[in-house]
């Protein structure tokens, strides 16, 4: 991957300065021309170390914090009054909480995809976005994990889900996908946290060494754990990082597969399907990339990071988002086909009900957001324009939430016996949990941007040292 950097000296300086063009005719560099170690350190480090944040940061933070307060209110009221506050009932026992859970877990997946899978494939275009995407994973999984807990009814007894030596002599039911979920999401959160922190240690060491203020030296010095950039440290950190990437790759596929098994193992029409695991994983990466784009486009603009997060990143992310979107669209087609082909009256009715039943309009919103609007990404001009890309990604994020609503609610509300049919109407508290969790996510993200380097400085320095990688096609 790296080798001895003799090549650095053999490349003439004017070659590095020129912006190389890809065959497609757009700038293909991962680093703006003329970057040095110091310019990279300064661009990324000063965001954290200087005192003042732009006004946009404050406005965004205040809004996010307000939503977080709404979340605390909704959760407190829920703990006092119970899940009857929500619109859930029998037959629709899984309402917004499970929709939100699947949505948030999915959003997290792009972070692991960017940081782990692209690392294993030597894709250098992960460098400027991996730290950010990993942080996003962490916060999204934290939001996701809260949802089923709040749905438990008695959330304070959540530890019943763990195999601990209890005085009741009980064990969790290990054959249940819901218990698999606990292990899958728990492992995913821990591994994401370790991966993120291991990559962060060298960067907080840089901040420690650049810090001027006393609290900054202490804060970053503590987090750096005494990291001193020695060859032995790097050797261990690199091998552990690579191993964690290798472990996170199958893990990320397993997590959303297990989540999909929550549905697929059940015999409810519209859930009982073998395509669910791959279709869920594709959907997860789809929505995750949409979320990365929705966050990184404004951040790049506000903090003037265009020299590090170049157009090439946006274009590549748009490509992956588009391809996974087509996979998801294929999933929709196969779902419809299989319900007809199964010859099962309940499956066939499910599809009719899903498209033209009482929630039919939700299905068509889903088609609009997830299938129709993303077709705009065929156009290179739309992919490379941050504004249009942002809008398309926003549609996809909404569409993926709606998709989970369609899967959860329209499948449950009319299953077998017409006498057991019902409707689900979300209440104010349903919506406040959804928007409140967005507030939690964004608050954590704003604090992350304020206190941690959002782009990996050590990896950016590596790109500076290896212009041939920075400009590879």
Partner 1 sequence: MRMRYDWELSICLMGFMGRVIMTNDSLHGLAAEFETDAGLMRAAEQAYALGYRKMDGYTPFPIEGLGKALGKTNRIPLLVLLAGILGGCSAYFMEWFASVISYPLNIGGRPLHSWPAFIPITFELTVLGASLTAFFCSLGLSGLPQPYHPMFNLPEFERASQDRFFLCIEAADPQFDTPRTRSFLESLDPLTVKEVAK
Q: Of the candidates 134, 335, 430, 462, which one interacts with partner 1 according to CB under 8 A?
A: 462
Q: Kindly indicate which of the ranges 77-85, 103-111, 198-206, 320-328 contains the residues binding partner 1, using the contact rule CB under 8 A.
A: 198-206
Q: Kindly indicate which of the ranges 112-120, 133-141, 430-438, 460-468 contains the residues binding partner 1, using the contact rule CB under 8 A.
A: 460-468
Of 178 and 394, CB closest to partner 1? 178
Closest to 188 measured CA to CA, from 141, 118, 224:
141
Q: Of the candidates 206, 260, 397, 469, which one interacts with partner 1 according to CB under 8 A?
A: 206
- For 396-447, the DSSP string reads HHHHHHHHHHIIIIIHHHS-S-GGG-------HHHHHHHHHHHHHHHHHHHH
CA 114 distance to own-chain centroid: 10
Of 48 and 314, CB closest to partner 1? 48
14 binds partner 1, rule: CB under 8 A: no
Of 84 and 226, CB closest to partner 1? 226
CB atoms within 10 A of CB 323: 15
DSSP 303: T
Site string for partner 1, 370-399 (x = CB under 8 A): ------------------------------
Q: CB of 5: closest distance to partner 1 in angstroms?
A: 5
Of 8 and 76, CB closest to partner 1? 8
- Give me 50's structure tokens: 């200087």
Q: Of the candidates 5, 18, 81, 218, which one interacts with partner 1 according to CB under 8 A?
A: 5
Of 47 and 369, CB closest to partner 1? 47
**What is the rounded CA–CA span in Å between residue 272 and residue 263?**
7
Location of structure tokens 């087609």: 333
**What is the rounded CA–CA span in Å between residue 167 and residue 122?**
51
Q: CB of 70: closest distance to partner 1 in angstroms?
A: 33
Site for partner 1 in 259-298 (CB under 8 A): 261
Site for partner 1 in 208-247 (CB under 8 A): 208-210, 225-241, 243-244, 247
Site for partner 1 in 152-191 (CB under 8 A): 163, 169-175, 177, 179-180, 183-184, 186-187, 190-191
What is the Cβ-side half-sphere exposure of residue 265, based on CA atoms within 13 angstroms? 13
Of 227 and 405, CB closest to partner 1? 227
Q: Return the sign of the alpha-carbon dihedral for residues 367, 337, 259, 117.
A: negative
Q: How many residues bind partner 1 (CB under 8 A)?
A: 71
Of 403 and 462, CB closest to partner 1? 462
Site for partner 1 in 407-426 (CB under 8 A): none
Of 318 and 454, CB closest to partner 1? 454
User: How much is the CA Rg of the chain, to the nearest whole Å?
Assistant: 24
Q: How far is it between the farthest Cα atoms of the chain?
A: 78
Of 192 and 353, CB closest to partner 1? 192
- Give me 338's structure tokens: 């299989």
Q: Of the candidates 49, 152, 178, 198, which one interacts with partner 1 according to CB under 8 A?
A: 198
Q: Of the candidates 302, 362, 376, 465, which one interacts with partner 1 according to CB under 8 A?
A: 465
Backbone dihedral angles phi then psi of residue 148, each to the nearest 5 degrees: -65, -30
In Å, how far are 124, 458, 463 from 5, measured between CA atoms? Answer: 16, 16, 11
Q: Kindly indicate which of the ranges 11-19, 121-129, 199-207, 311-319 contains the residues binding partner 1, using the contact rule CB under 8 A.
A: 199-207
Query: What's the full length of the chain, in residues?
Result: 473
Site for partner 1 in 17-46 (CB under 8 A): 36-38, 41
Of 87 and 277, CB closest to partner 1? 277
Location of structure tokens 């996809």: 396
292 in Cβ contact with 110 (< 8 Å): yes
- Give me 315's structure tokens: 């274009």
């Amino acid at each position: 991957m790296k080798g001895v950097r003799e090549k650095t000296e053999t490349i003439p300086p004017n070659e590095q300065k020129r912006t190389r063009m890809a065959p497609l005719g757009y700038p293909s560099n991962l680093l703006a021309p003329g970057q040095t170690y110091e310019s990279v350190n300064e661009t990324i480090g000063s965001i954290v170390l200087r005192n003042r944040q732009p006004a946009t940061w404050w406005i965004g933070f205040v809004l996010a914090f307000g939503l977080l307060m709404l979340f605390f209110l909704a959760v407190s009221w829920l703990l006092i009054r119970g899940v009857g506050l929500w619109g859930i009932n029998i037959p629709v026992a899984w309402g917004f909480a499970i929709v939100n859970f699947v949505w948030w877990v999915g959003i997290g997946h792009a972070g692991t995809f960017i940081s782990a899978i692209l690392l294993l494939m030597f894709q250098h275009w992960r460098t400027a976005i991996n730290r950010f995407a990993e942080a996003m994973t962490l916060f999204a999984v934290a939001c996701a994990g809260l949802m089923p807990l709040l749905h438990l009814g008695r959330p304070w007894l959540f530890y019943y889900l763990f195999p601990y030596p209890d005085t009741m002599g009980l064990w969790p039911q290990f054959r249940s996908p819901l218990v698999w979920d606990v292990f899958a999401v728990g492992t995913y959160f821990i591994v994401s946290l370790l991966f993120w922190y291991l990559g962060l240690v060298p960067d907080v060491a840089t901040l420690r060494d650049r810090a001027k203020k006393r609290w900054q030296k202490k804060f970053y010095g503590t987090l750096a754990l005494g990291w001193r950039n020695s060859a032995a440290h790097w050797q261990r950190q690199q091998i552990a990082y690579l191993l964690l990437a290798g472990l996170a790759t199958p893990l990320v596929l397993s997590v959303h597969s297990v989540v999909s098994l929550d549905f697929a193992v059940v015999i409810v029409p519209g859930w009982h399907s073998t395509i669910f695991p791959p279709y869920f994983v594709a959907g997860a990466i789809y929505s995750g990339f949409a979320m990365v784009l929705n966050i990184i486009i404004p951040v790049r603009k506000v903090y003037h990071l265009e020299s590090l997060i170049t157009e090439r990143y946006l274009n590549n992310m748009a490509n992956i988002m588009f391809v996974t979107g087509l996979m998801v669209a294929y999933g929709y087609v196969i779902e419809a086909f299989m319900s007809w082909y199964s010859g099962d009256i309940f499956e066939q009715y499910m599809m009719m009900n899903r498209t033209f039943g009482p929630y039919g309009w939700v299905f068509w919103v889903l088609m609009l957001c997830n299938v129709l609007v993303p077709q705009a990404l065929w156009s290179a001009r739309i992919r490379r324009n941050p504004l249009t890309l942002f809008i398309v990604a926003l549609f996809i994020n909404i569409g993926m939430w709606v998709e989970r609503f369609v899967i959860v609610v329209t499948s449950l509300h009319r299953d077998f016996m017409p006498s057991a049919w019902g409707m689900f109407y979300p209440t104010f508290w349903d919506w406040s949990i959804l928007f409140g969790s967005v507030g939690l996510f964004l608050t954590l993200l704003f604090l992350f941007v304020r206190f941690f380097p959002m782009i990996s400085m050590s990896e950016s320095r590596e790109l500076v040292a290896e212009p041939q990688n920075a400009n590879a096609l």
